[in-house]
Amino acid sequence: MSIDRKSLTIGFAVIASTWASTAFAASPSVTAVLSDSQPAVGQMVQLEIKVSGAQSASVPDTIPIDGLEVHQTGTSRQFEMHNFDVTSSVTYAYTILPLRAGQFKIPPQTIRVGNTSLKTPELALNVAQGQSGGASASKPGTQSGQASVGSKLAFADLVIAKKEAYVGEMIPAEIRLGFDARARGRLQDGPDLSAQGFTTQKLQQPRENLETIGGRTYQVYTFKTALSAVRPGKFELGPVTAKASIVMPRRPSTSPRTRPRSPLDLFNLDDPFSDPFFSDPFGSMSMGERAEVPIKSESVSLNIKPLPPNAPPNFSGAVGNFTMTSDAKPKTVQVGDPITVTSTITGRGNFDRMSAPALEDERGWHKYPPSSKFKQDDDVGISGEKTFEMVLAPNEKKNAIPPLVFSYFDPVKENYATLRSDAIPITVEGNAPPSQNTAAVPPASATVGITPSPAPKPADILYQMNALGAPKSFTPIYRRAVFWIAQLGPLLLLLAFIGWKIRQRKSGDRERQRILAREQEMSRLLRELRRGDISPQVYFSNAARVVNLKTALARNVNPNSVDPETVATTFDLDEEERVRLQRLLARSDELSYSGGGNGSDKISRDEREEVLNFVESLRV
Amino acid sequence: MRILPGLSLVLWLSAAALIAQPATQFAKANQEYAAGDFKAAITDYEELVRSAADTPNLFYNLGNAYFRKKDFGHAILNYERALALDPRHPEAQANLRLARDEARALELLPNRWEQGLTFADSNQFAISAGIAFWLGVFGIAFFVFNRRRIALALAILAILISGYSIFALSELEHGKNGGGLAIVTKDNSEARIATADTANRVLVLPAGSEIQIASRRGDWIYATLPNNLRGWLPANSAEPVRM
């Protein structure tokens, strides 16, 4: 088989370049997220710096901050493909160990992606005194976790960042499912988290890594989510349940089973990995069999506190830590014209319970219900920015849009906070409201046109109509059968016109053919007359015929109906020529009717030339 | 044979009664409106609409009844229907303006082509396209058989007029007041980015706002919104203008 190696190489190059161009076509961007922004001293926090639109980036190994120990712990890369649109990202994980209590700021870090420099946002970390957080259920990394996991083929952990929280506060959570690396665990169902009294964010795609716990290597799948309590009280969160299939050895039939075994003590031994199956990986391929095992974690206790009373009037349930910016477009309008006021709430909290900022003073304004969109900075939607667009229309002359106010509960400071934007200066012209209300268009769209009112607005609606009138159809005329049937009229007229024209042309062709035949006959006869080798009877007969044909062609009449007078008139003959014509015709008749024997057999040269000259001289 | 005249009379009277019935019901609904019984008037007008007596005045009067009931969404819908049947209905134009102001309804913006095509409606453009097309075809036929240059020039002119009319017709039919025009009848209807009540909102529409339906999926409609964005709305939150 001959393979065109050059074509193959070019094909691979095209595919590779297409993939590469799509994978890195988007300009890179960076986000930074903390797993918990309110840890206690000694409680580990994870910082993830995610660079989207790049496969690698240059990041600092450590971040020097007084009071915090920050170290890079790992890198993971993700590729996603949607409809041939490939996106890639790389995530750099850091652990942060708070050494003392206080408020810390993690300054923006410079990330280099090729020739581009990106900066992470500044992050705030409020470290509380004492060991308050870190409620993890049998975390493998802890002493108790080691004990419970060390002899298992699979384990499940529910890691909750807090033991105490407020109603509505977003609580980051991780579900970790681990499988002994040699058991080649495969998740069949779940994980499912029992969380009555909580709303949970949808579980994201798990992060996969290898961890060594108690001297054994586990393949650990980490699912991230966030929880939010809907009512106060003490809750048991969990357990997390899942079903997985793992490879276990077939036991020899001769080996008697002496005691029942638990699903996680598969080999009747304290340590299942002491089974010879695991010491012979190749043998296990033939001897092992897959079995489905349930996995269950411990529950976690959580104390949910109610929000304090005396909430601000415009508090709508936002819990977290936020900042707000606002803007308005356009800034010069007529009375009644729409203005789009955009307010952006950025921070960390329960964005799904967040309502739009309110106008401090709504008098003199008509307010339309706002729309919103959310851009999350992390996997579970705790951090990000929510943008509200609200359309306002001034009912009177104004010189500024009143400040926007937004209230939220800060669970760290344990009090309510109200953000207040500055008044936005605008110019409102005119007095009369316009006739049309059009929604403000986003800045990227076309400009909004306000059509001036063509007539003054009536004070009330006009009178009722007394006559019902003739029914009409909503169907456009071109979709009605009558419209297309009506087209048959001109179509038939056109066909009739074309038929008539074709017929006319055909009859014209017959006339032309007749004329052509006469011309050809005349030419032939003239040639014979010039040759002169014919008898006098034929000669004069031909000459008379040529005269008749010439006359017929000139007058467009039948040559048989031509008489001497017609010839004379047609060619405007004088007396002498008339005599010559008479003589020619008489001679022709004489020879025709008297027979060929009357007279000479041959015509004289002079006579022939005279006749020929006469015939040829006949012109209109 | 004797019963034939009698039968003819019965048939004639029945036909006359059938013709007179909508007018009678229309007059009755008008009386109810005049007496302030707008609910009864709406019921009678709606019954006439269901009997396919689609006249501009019927939709106009129905719009007025809804206006009195402060149901501006349905009022605007019926004024729009009156104008769809008779684009130059002056009373419907005036009342529609008033209803829009009352409801603070949002309007679709006509594109720049539509703005220049207000001198005729789509039916007039369809007729002019048909006439100009046939004039063009006859002109070409005359030129083919008679070789008259004036015939060719007139044919080209007529074909251009026909093409322009078809373009204008297409713009109007696919534009703001085209076949997809619908009116939001439920107040504060939320247009979303996906067919789920929990999906993010694109725009909240006051009753009477105009949308242009692009497609339907189950109980949802995908529509162009007054801010030039597109979004999904519950199908029962808007009604098409053309029935």
The CATH superfamily assigned to B3-103 is: Tetratricopeptide repeat domain (1.25.40.10)
Q: Where in chain A is the domain with CATH 1.20.120?
A: 507-617
Residue A98: the pLDDT is 82
Report how far apart the first and last C-alpha atoms of chain A are (Å, whole number): 88
CB contact at 8 A, B72 and B207: yes
CA distance A52 to A29: 5
3-state secondary structure of A502: helix
Q: Does A313 touch chain B (CB under 8 A)?
A: no
Nearest to B57 among A368, A393, A465 (CB): A465
Query: Nearest residue on chain B to A338, judged by CA atoms?
Result: B106
- Looking at per-residue pLDDT, the higher value among B17 and A227 belongs to A227
B179 neighbourhood in chain A, CB within 8 Å: 476
> Is residue B233 very low, low, confident or very high in pLDDT (cuts 50, 70, 90)?
very high
Q: Does A474 touch chain B (CB under 8 A)?
A: yes
Q: Distance, in angstroms, between A494 CA and closest chain B CA? A: 7
CA distance A151 to B64: 80
Query: Nearest residue on chain A to B89, judged by CA atoms?
Result: A465
Backbone dihedral angles phi then psi of residue B191, each to the nearest 5 degrees: -90, 130
Q: Distance, in angstroms, between B8 CA and closest chain A CA? A: 26
DSSP letters of A223-278?
EEEEEEESS-EEEEE--EEEEEEEEEEPPPTTS---S---TT-TTSSSSGGGSHHH
CB contact at 8 A, B31 and B44: no
> Is residue A287 very low, low, confident or very high in pLDDT (cuts 50, 70, 90)?
low
- What's the angle, vertex CA A17, arms to CA A15 and CA A21, rounded to 5? 120
Whether residue A150 has pLDDT greater than 50: no
Can you say whether the dihedral through the CA atoms of A451, A455, A460, A465 is positive or negative? negative
CB contact under 8 A, A372 and B201: yes
From the list A355, A342, A363, A359, the residue with the least C-alpha distance to A315 is A355
Q: Mean per-residue pLDDT for A426-449?
A: 48
CB contact under 8 A, A467 and B105: no
Instruction: Determine the longest span between alpha carbons in chain B, in angstroms.
Output: 76
Q: Domain A20-127, what architecture?
A: Sandwich (2.60)
Contacts of A465 (CB under 8 A, 6+ apart): B57, B60, B61, B91
CA distance A326 to B115: 34
> Is residue B197 very low, low, confident or very high in pLDDT (cuts 50, 70, 90)?
confident
Query: Nearest residue on chain B to A389, judged by CA atoms?
Result: B203
Residue A231: the pLDDT is 81
In this structure, whether the domain defined by A322-429 belongs to CATH 3.40.50.970 is answered with no
Give tens-digit pLDDT for A490-536: 999 999 999 998 888 888 888 888 889 999 999 999 998 888 788 88
CATH number of B181-240: 2.30.30.40
Q: Distance, in angstroms, between A367 CA and closest chain B CA? A: 10
CA distance B234 to B223: 11
Residue where the block lists tokens 């949808």 = A202
SS3 sequence of chain B = CCHHHHHHHHHHHHHHHHHHHHHHHHHHHHHHHHCCCHHHHHHHHHHHHHCCCCCHHHHHHHHHHHHHCCCHHHHHHHHHHHHHHCCCCHHHHHHHHHHHHHHCCCCCCCCHHHHCCCCCCHHHHHHHHHHHHHHHHHHHHHHHHHCCHHHHHHHHHHHHHHHHHHHHHHHHHHCCCCCCEEEECCCCEEEECCCCCCCCEEEEECCCCEEEEEEEECCEEEEECCCCCEEEEEHHHEEECCC
CA distance A370 to A379: 26
Q: Does A64 touch chain B (CB under 8 A)?
A: no
Q: Distance, in angstroms, between B3 CA and closest chain A CA? A: 34
| The two three-digit tokens of residue B90, written as one number | 């002056």
Contacts of A29 (CB under 8 A, 6+ apart): A51, A52, A53, A118
- What's the angle, vertex CA A97, arms to CA A95 and CA A99, rounded to 5? 165
Nearest to B64 among A436, A461, A466 (CB): A461
CB contact under 8 A, A471 and B84: no
Q: Distance, in angstroms, between B2 CA and closest chain A CA? A: 37
Whether residue B179 has pLDDT greater than 50: yes
CA distance B214 to B168: 20
> Residue A235 class from Cβ within 10 Å (0-12 exposed, 13-18 middle, 19+ buried)?
buried
Residues 403-462 of A with CB under 8 A from B: 433, 435-442, 445-446, 448-449, 453, 455, 457-458, 460-462
Residue A10: the pLDDT is 44
> Is residue A393 very low, low, confident or very high in pLDDT (cuts 50, 70, 90)?
confident
CB contact under 8 A, B169 and A478: yes
Q: Mean per-residue pLDDT for A338-359?
A: 86
Mutate to test the interface with B, among A464, A483, A506 (most CBs of B within 10 A): A464
Q: Mean per-residue pLDDT for B150-174?
A: 93
Q: Any bridge partners for residue A323, and if so which? A: A346
Residue B14: the pLDDT is 61
Q: Does A499 touch chain B (CB under 8 A)?
A: no
- Looking at per-residue pLDDT, the higher value among A28 and A19 belongs to A28
Q: Distance, in angstroms, between A206 CA and closest chain B CA? A: 24
| The two three-digit tokens of residue A25, written as one number | 């076509």
Give tens-digit pLDDT for A265-274: 444 444 444 4
From the list A33, A23, A46, the residue with the least C-alpha distance to A109 is A33
Q: Other C-beta atoms within 10 Å of B11: how many?
A: 10
Backbone dihedral angles phi then psi of residue A411, each to the nearest 5 degrees: -70, -20
Mutate to test the interface with A, among B200, B227, B228 (most CBs of A within 10 A): B227
Size of interface A-B (CB pairs under 8 A): 149
Whether residue A596 has pLDDT greater than 60: no
Q: Where in chain A is the domain with CATH 2.60.120.570?
A: 322-429
Q: Distance, in angstroms, between A296 CA and closest chain B CA? A: 31
Residue A483: in which H helix or E strand, if any?
Answer: helix A481-486
SS3 sequence of A170-235 = EEEEEEEEEEEHHHCCEEEEEEEECCCCEEECCCCCCEEEEEEECCEEEEEEEEEEEEEECCCEEE
Query: Nearest residue on chain B to A443, judged by CA atoms?
Result: B227
Residue A436: the pLDDT is 44
Residue A431: the pLDDT is 56
CA distance A514 to A560: 14
Residue A58: the pLDDT is 85
Query: Nearest residue on chain B to A442, judged by CA atoms?
Result: B227
Q: Which of A46-50, A187-191, A392-396, B9-13 has the lowest mean pLDDT?
A: B9-13
Q: Other C-beta atoms within 10 Å of A383: how many?
A: 24
Nearest to B60 among A366, A457, A465 (CB): A465
Give tens-digit pLDDT for A451-490: 334 444 456 888 889 888 888 999 999 999 999 999 999 9
Query: Nearest residue on chain B to A459, judged by CA atoms?
Result: B98
β-strands A300-305, A164-166: how paired? parallel
Among A217-226, A358-367, A608-617, top mean pLDDT goes to: A608-617
Q: Distance, in angstroms, between A432 CA and closest chain B CA? A: 12
Q: Which of A152-156, A170-174, A324-328 has the lowest mean pLDDT?
A: A152-156
Whether residue A46 has pLDDT greater than 70: yes
CA distance A582 to B174: 86
Query: Nearest residue on chain A to B26, judged by CA atoms?
Result: A468
CB contact at 8 A, A72 and A49: no
CA distance B157 to A290: 81
Give tens-digit pLDDT for B17-61: 555 688 899 999 999 999 999 999 999 999 999 987 789 999 999
Residue B10: the pLDDT is 66
Residue A455: the pLDDT is 46
B64 neighbourhood in chain A, CB within 8 Å: 461-462, 464
Q: Any bridge partners for residue A303, and if so which? A: A164, A234
Q: Any bridge partners for residue B192, and if so which? A: B201, B232
Q: Distance, in angstroms, between A365 CA and closest chain B CA? A: 12
Backbone dihedral angles phi then psi of residue A179, each to the nearest 5 degrees: -130, 135
Q: Does A368 touch chain B (CB under 8 A)?
A: yes
CB contact under 8 A, A435 and B97: yes
Q: Other C-beta atoms within 10 Å of A177: how many?
A: 24
CA distance B107 to B92: 16
Give tens-digit pLDDT for B48-60: 999 877 899 999 9
CB contact under 8 A, B54 and A472: yes
Contacts of A594 (CB under 8 A, 6+ apart): none
Residue A108: the pLDDT is 87
CB contact under 8 A, A437 and B30: no
Contacts of B185 (CB under 8 A, 6+ apart): B73, B74, B77, B207, B208, B237, B238, B239
CB contact at 8 A, A402 and A423: yes
Residue A89: the pLDDT is 82
Query: Nearest residue on chain A to B66, judged by CA atoms?
Result: A461
Instruction: State the ipTM, two decimals.
Output: 0.85
Nearest to B22 among A438, A460, A468 (CB): A468
In this structure, whether the domain defined by A507-617 belongs to CATH 2.60.40 is answered with no
Whether residue A440 has pLDDT greater than 60: no
Q: Which of A132-136, A318-322, A579-583 has the lowest mean pLDDT?
A: A132-136
CB contact under 8 A, B95 and A439: no
Q: Distance, in angstroms, between A374 CA and closest chain B CA? A: 8
CB contact under 8 A, B94 and A448: no
- Measured in residues, chain B has a length of 243
A371 neighbourhood in chain B, CB within 8 Å: 201-204
3-state secondary structure of A550: helix
CA distance A354 to A382: 12
Query: Nearest residue on chain B to A471, judged by CA atoms?
Result: B55
Helix axes A488-531, A605-617, angle to 10 degrees: 160
